[in-house]
Structure 1
Amino acid sequence: MQIQFWRLVLLLSWSSWRRTVLLITSAALVACDNGSITLSVTDTPADEVSRVVVQFSAVEFEDSGGDWERVELKPELQVDLLALRGGDSKVLIADESIPSGSYRRIRFVIDADSNGSESYVDRTNGGRIALEPDGGEDARPTVDFRFSLDDGDDVALTVDFDLRRGLIEPDDFSDPYRLRNALRVVDDEFSGRVRGTVSAALLSNACEPALYVFDGEDADVGDIGADNEPLTSVGLVAQNGSSGLSYSIGFLEAGDYTIAFTCDAEGDDPEDDDELSFRRERNFEIEEGEETILDIN
C-alpha cells in the first residue's frame, strides 16, 4: 500500500508538471503572435509659416481584411512638423505590439478645434491660425502602404507629411488651414538620404528656391499638383560663410531619382497646375542606409 501511494504521488506530480509546461508553451505561442512596429513622422517644409503643430491622439493600421488596429497615444502628442526638416523625424509610437499579418493602410487621428488650441499654424508675419484635416475636424489623414509583420518581427516606418503639397492656406483669415492627404511612407531599413549645396550662380535676386525630387532617372518634371508632380520637395537654407545654399532630404527609398532646382517655388499652388521653370536637373541614386552627396552647380 505504501509503494502504491508513492506511485500515485509521482504520477500526479508528473501530470501537474506536464500541464504546467503546456500552459507555459501555449502562453509563449500567444505572446509571439504579434509583431512590433515603430512609426515616426517627418516633414517636407512649407513656405511662409514658422510652426505647423499637429496634435496626434492615435494611429490606426488597416489589415488586408479591412479591420483596423488602433494604437492610442497617451498622452496626446503635439508635434511641430516644420521642425522636422533635413531628415529629422519624431517617433509617435515605439516598439508597439500589434497582431501579425498583412497591412495596407495607415491613418492618423488628429485633435483639431476651431480656436487652434490643439493643432495650429503660426505664420512668419505673425498670427496663429487653427489647423484641421482636409474634410473637417473629424477627418483622418490616410495613406496607402502595404507591409507584412510576421510573428516576433519588428518594422520601423516613417511617414512624410509633405507640407509643401499638403498645407492649404485659407482664403479668409477666419478659416483654418487645411492639412490634406499629402503623405508618403518609407520603410526605414530600405531608405537613405541625399544632401548637398546649390551654387550661388543659380540664384537671382527674385529667386524663391526649392528642390523637387522625382522617381526615376531623367524623369518628366512638373509642379506640385501636376500629373507628373514630385515625390517630395524641399526648401534651401543659407550656409555659414558661403553665398550658396544647402539642402538635405531624408527617408528616400533606395532607387534612382531626378532632382530639379527652381526659383519659382513661391508661385507653386498645390491646388493648381502651375508653370514652373527648372534651372537644373540632375540624376542621383539612393542606397539603403547610405548618404548621397549631390551638389547642384
Structure 2
Amino acid sequence: MKRSIRFFTVSALAAGIAACGGGSDGSGSTGTVSFDVTDAPAMEFSSVTVTFTGISLKPQDGEWVEFSFDEPKTWDLLDLQGGVSEPLITDEEVPAGPYSELRLLVDTGGSYVELEAEPGIEKSLAVPSGQQSGLKLKGEFLVAADTTTDFTIDFDVKKSIVNPQGTSLADYLLKPSLRLVNNLEVGSISGEVDYVTLSQTRANDADLADCATGYEGAVYIYEGINATPTDINVNSEEAGPLMAVPVADDDYDGIYTYTAAFLTAGEYTISYSCQLDDNETDDGLDFEGTQNVTVVANTNVEADPIPLLP
C-alpha cells in the first residue's frame, strides 16, 4: 500500500515478517514502530528497482532487533516520490528507548537500474563489500513507550547510485545516502514553475544559458535560510542541496509543479534550475526563483510561483 506523507492511516494489515532479538531501555517497556521507505528524486534514471529482504534496529544499550521478510519487498524507488512511501514494517513491537543504528537488507540479485538514455536495458546493481551486512544508517532515534512511532527512510537515489567506471563486476554500486525522519515532525513544500516562459526567455536571450533539451528542470532544496544555491556534487565535501525535485506537467495542462516531501519542520531555501545537473562536476548551474520557505509539521506549504513576481 502506497502512502501519502501527511494523510496516511497506519495499515493494520499483517506485515508478513518474523522478528527476533532483544534489548530495551532497562525498564522492560515496549513501543511499536513502523518504517516506510521513500525516495528523493533522481533525474538520469528511468527505473531504480531494489529488493529488500529485512530491516534491523540497534537499541543503544541492547542487542539487534531483526525483522526478516517472509517475502522480499521489491519496489521501483522512482515511484516513491512526492510524498509517496511503501511500508517495510508496520506496527511491530520493539523495546522502547533510544536506538543508534538501523540496517536495510538488500538482495542485489533482484535489484537493477535503467537509464533514461537506454530505456528497457537493465543494469546490474551491487552492494559494496563493506555493506554486505546491510545498508547502514547511523544516528540516534527514539521509540516512545506504549505508543506507535512512525518513521520514513528517505533513500536518496541520486546520491546513492554510483557508477564504478569499470572497477566493479556490477554496472552500478549501491552506496546509500539515507535520511531518517519521524513522520510527526515532517511537512512538505509544493509549488509551480512557469517552465515555458523561462525556457523561451533563455532561448531568446544570448546572455542566458539555454535550458537542457527535453528536461523541465528541478527545484533544489537546501537546509537553512539564505543558502547559496549549488548543484549536487557527490565528490565535494561541501554541503549541497538536501534534494533536487524535478518539475513536471503531470496533467498535461501547461502547469509545471513539484513537491518536496518528508522535510523536517524548519527553515529551507529553495531555487530552480532548468539546466541538467551532471552530478560529478561543479560547473555552476544558473538558478532562478530563490526563496526562503518555512516547513511546518503535518502541513504542505505552498511556495511562491517561479519566476518570482516583481
Is the TM value for this pair above 0.5? yes
CA offsets 1:87-121 (integer angstroms, 9 cap, x no match): 100111000111112102222111113xxxx1111
Query: Would you say the 8 A contact 2:273–2:286 is kept in 1?
Result: yes
CA distance in 1, matches of 2:228, 2:89: 37
1:24-173 pair list within 5 angstroms: 33-65=29-61, 67-113=63-109, 118-124=110-116, 125-126=118-119, 127-135=121-129, 138=132, 140-172=134-166
Query: Structure 1 residues 150, 291: closer, same or farther in 2, change over 3 A?
Result: closer
Distance 1:136 1:55, change over 3 A: farther
SS state at 2:277 partner: helix
Aligned partner of 1:198 among 181, 190, 193: 193
Match of 2:10 in 1: none
Whichever structure has more helix as a proportion of its residues is: 1
Paired with 1:123 and 1:182, the residues of 2 have a C-alpha distance of: 20
Q: TM-score scaled to structure 1, two decimals?
A: 0.80
For the residue of structure 1 that corresponds to 2:158, the secondary structure is helix
Distance, in Å, in 2 between the alignment partners of 1:215 and 1:76 is 35
2:229 — aligned with what?
A: 221
Q: 2:300 aligns with which of 284, 288, 291?
A: 291
Distance between the aligned counterparts of 2:187 and 2:106, measured in 1? 28
SS in 2 for 1:85: coil
Would you say the 8 A contact 1:36–1:96 is kept in 2?
yes
Structure 1 residue 277 corresponds to structure 2 residue 272:
no
Distance in structure 2 (CA, Å) of the matches to 1:187 and 1:237: 28
Percent identity (aligned): 28
How many residue pairs were aligned? 262
* Deviation for aligned residue 1:137: 7.1
Q: What is the TM-score normalised by the length of structure 2?
A: 0.77
Structure 2: which 5+ runs fail to align?
Answer: 1-27, 203-209
Following the alignment from structure 2 to structure 1, what is the Cα–Cα distance between the partners of residues 143 and 49?
31
Question: CA RMSD of the aligned region, Å?
Answer: 2.4
Deviation of the 1:279 alpha carbon? 2.5
Other-structure match for 1:16: none
